[in-house]
Amino acid sequence: MYMWLVMLMMYLFGNMIFVSKHKHLLIVLLSLEFIVLSMFFLMLMYLMSINYNMYMLMVFLVFSVCEGALGLSILVSMIRTHGNDYFQSYNLI
């Protein structure tokens, strides 16, 4: 029961960091990865408790790695075009 509470707190802290206003894109990407990691542990504990096979976790990990690679490629392209990763220096229109 203690591990479920820890994983839920990890998820909530990741959401709080993501929702709060940060000026760097890297912090937002790290909070998204933290949320994905907590969801992975929650799925792992749930699937282990019902004695289900772990193939769904493999698919989840593949998609989370793809999400991380896309986030890093966006970060690199924004740094190359604008010189920094501040949200205030971009015009999103």
Residue 91 confidence (pLDDT) = 63
For 23-70, write each residue's pLDDT tens digit: 788 888 889 999 999 999 989 988 888 988 888 899 999 999 999 999
The answer as to whether 42 is a domain residue is yes
Q: Could you tell me which of 61, 62, 88, 87 has the C-alpha nearest to residue 74?
A: 87
In this structure, are residues 35 and 15 in contact, taking their beta carbons and an 8 Å threshold?
yes
The answer as to whether 87 is a domain residue is no
The answer as to whether 54 is a domain residue is yes
The answer as to whether 68 is a domain residue is yes
Q: What is the CATH number of the domain that holds 75?
A: 1.10.287.3510
The answer as to whether 8 is a domain residue is yes
The answer as to whether 11 is a domain residue is yes
**Is the whole-model pTM more than 0.85?**
no
Residue 40 confidence (pLDDT) = 92
Domains held by the chain: number: 1
The answer as to whether 69 is a domain residue is yes
The answer as to whether 50 is a domain residue is yes
Domain carrying residue 8: 2-82
